[in-house]
Structure 1
Amino acid sequence: MYLNAWLKSYYHIVRPIGVPGIRSGDIRSATGLSMPSGHAQGTMTFFTALALWLRRPLWLLLAILLSVAVGISRVYLGLHWPMDVVIGWVAGLAIGFCGWQIGRWWTYRGIPFGVALALAVLFPAALLVLARDVTSAVYAVFLLVGGVGAALEKRFLRTSLDPVLWKRVAAGVIALGGVVAVQLAVQAHLEEPLWQYARAAALAAWATVLAPWLFQFLGLYTREADSHRDG
């Protein structure tokens, strides 16, 4: 969502809320500026990546239909201009496709740890320098800590998902609990940018390093080397 926040700050287009002749509903879901639509971009990104992962034409069609439905609903509710949604769709499609390809390249190419760590630092650092507002800077911090965490996890933890269902469910509950704990810990201070950065860093560290380490410690997940040796 870094790109979404950056573009909103760049174009600085206000929402159609309050414009004569437009009736806006559910304005609680509409915060900040208008272009591009975060809902349209987010759903298109998610469903594009999901369709590529499942590799089924039917899922790709369903992803497009769901994303289009979400985008149209934002215009119907009077929360976005039509062009906001179109730009959101285009950005989401590009991010979903490019992100999927980069993820595959990152996972299967066997990048040396030093190179991976350098990329994980330099790219988000550049985004942080180019950030136009606090929101985009927060996303850059999340990418920075998350990228470093992912590189460290791949190098030292090498977490492997356990096929046992109850272990996956337990890990999911613990992961969600960690997210909620971070949110509750900083919720009262989120008006201050420093706490927004702290929340982003904590969530990224939890998702990429701390939670995988905890899952291994509790025996919910295994290490790749261990699973290969056992097999």
Structure 2
Amino acid sequence: MIANILTANFNIIIIKFLQQFSNPFLDKLAELITMTGEQYFSIGAILIIYLCINKNLGYKLGFASLFSNSINGLVKNIFKVPRPIGTSGIRSLRLETAGGYSFPSGHTQNASVFWTNLMKNIHKHWIYIVGTIMILGVALSRLYLGVHRPVDVFFGFVIGFLSMAVVNRIFDFKDGAGNIYGLLVLVVIVCIITINYGNLDLYKQFGSITGFFVGYLIESKFIRFREKASYIQNVIKVFIASIGCLILELGLKAILPNLKVFEFFRYFIIILWVTIGTTYIIKRFKIYL
């Protein structure tokens, strides 16, 4: 019953309607917009926000994104809905971003988590306008590119929004213990998901959220770096974090066996570098105002 709804013909009718307007310009525009829903965009934006703009918002974005991605992996593995790729009358582009199952849309989830977090925490009219446009843009781009159905992007938005709401509610606790216990529950949930449906991506998410949790505990209690800095200092901070991540990413990948447990360890260490290593350097050498 549910599978029939998720793959119902109205999904294909909507995709074909959008694709009737296809042209080279819209193809490029859709590919450009869909890139803002990819993890590399989110990672880069969260890194900059965390180190340079608003540390607390960076934590909210990081935890919400990692939790959301794990829920995405869980739902995909439960329903195992194939993508519309190859359906008669559907043209599919940017297939390198269309691996795995279709439901729900990870790109739409990423956009939803990111922009609704900004809307929730930065009460500016332009954020609401830009955020709404970007979420709708990513969702429509996935349909236009023929790699998702309307139900995929709708539930991608819903799961992303709920993930944002849960994490922000946890951070609304006034005492530190409330934050810690709430975040620990998220880590445990991701752990259970990973053990039961553990593909490679889920182990990466588990390692990342565990590293983020440990880093949050240590940085909040012992380091407490300050984000406010000059333009040059912000460039230095992002460079230190990025070069360290690159070295750890390539170095650990070269020396560790290609096993899921080591993917957990690799991403755990990379996130610790950002949350503890980089922030310690920032405070130690006073790379702030």
Q: Which TM bucket (shorter chain)? A: 0.7 to 0.9
Q: 1:52 to 1:184 in 2, by over 3 A?
A: same
Are 2:119 and 1:51 aligned?
yes
User: Which residue number in structure 2 is paired with residue 37 of structure 1?
Assistant: 105
Shift of 1:118: 5.3
What letter matches 1:171 in structure 2? K
What letter matches 2:234 in structure 1? R
Aligned equivalents of 2:222, 2:76: Cα separation in 1 = 38
User: Which residue number in structure 1 is paired with residue 88 of structure 2?
Assistant: 20
Are 2:275 and 1:212 aligned?
no
SS in 1 for 2:229: coil
Q: 1:126 to 1:48 in 2, by over 3 A?
A: closer
Aligned equivalents of 2:224, 2:236: Cα separation in 1 = 19
User: Which residue number in structure 2 is paired with residue 7 of structure 1?
Assistant: 75
Shift of 1:76: 1.0
User: Which residue number in structure 2 is paired with residue 199 of structure 1?
Assistant: 266
What letter matches 1:164 in structure 2? S
What letter matches 2:233 in structure 1? K
> Equivalences for 1:142-157 in 2 at 5 Å?
142-157=208-223
Say if 1:117 and 1:148, in contact at 8 Å, map to a contact too: no
User: Which residue number in structure 2 is paired with residue 140 of structure 1?
Assistant: 206
Q: Any gaps of 5 or more consecutive residues in structure 2?
A: 1-68
| Among candidates 183, 192, 195, match of residue 129 of structure 1 | 192
Q: 1:191 to 1:31 in 2, by over 3 A?
A: farther
> Equivalences for 1:176-187 in 2 at 5 Å?
176-187=242-253
Flag the structure with more relative contact order, 1 or 2, with Cα contacts below 8 A and sequence separation at least 6. 2
| Among candidates 52, 56, 73, match of residue 141 of structure 2 | 73
Say if 1:16 and 1:78, in contact at 8 Å, map to a contact too: yes
Cα displacement string for residues 122-179 of structure 1 (whole angstroms, at most 9, x for unaligned residues): 5413421233222334312321221121011111111122433321221011111122
Runs of 4+ off more than 6 Å: none
Say if 2:207 and 2:263, in contact at 8 Å, map to a contact too: no
User: Which residue number in structure 2 is paired with residue 86 of structure 1?
Assistant: 154
Q: Any gaps of 5 or more consecutive residues in structure 1?
A: 223-231
Shift of 1:55: 0.4
Aligned equivalents of 1:168, 1:186: Cα separation in 2 = 27
Aligned equivalents of 2:124, 2:183: Cα separation in 1 = 31
Shift of 1:191: 5.0
| RMSD of aligned residue pairs (Cα, Å) | 2.3
Say if 2:70 and 2:193, in contact at 8 Å, map to a contact too: no
Say if 2:207 and 2:266, in contact at 8 Å, map to a contact too: no
Cα displacement string for residues 170-190 of structure 1 (whole angstroms, at most 9, x for unaligned residues): 101111112222222244568
Say if 1:9 and 1:133, in contact at 8 Å, map to a contact too: no
The percent of aligned pairs where both chains have the same amino acid is: 23
What letter matches 1:130 in structure 2? I
Q: 1:40 to 1:194 in 2, by over 3 A?
A: same
Aligned equivalents of 2:147, 2:115: Cα separation in 1 = 22
Number of equivalent positions: 217
Say if 1:162 and 1:220, in contact at 8 Å, map to a contact too: no
Shift of 1:79: 0.7
User: Which residue number in structure 2 is paired with residue 99 of structure 1?
Assistant: 167
What letter matches 2:268 in structure 1? A
Q: 1:123 to 1:74 in 2, by over 3 A?
A: closer
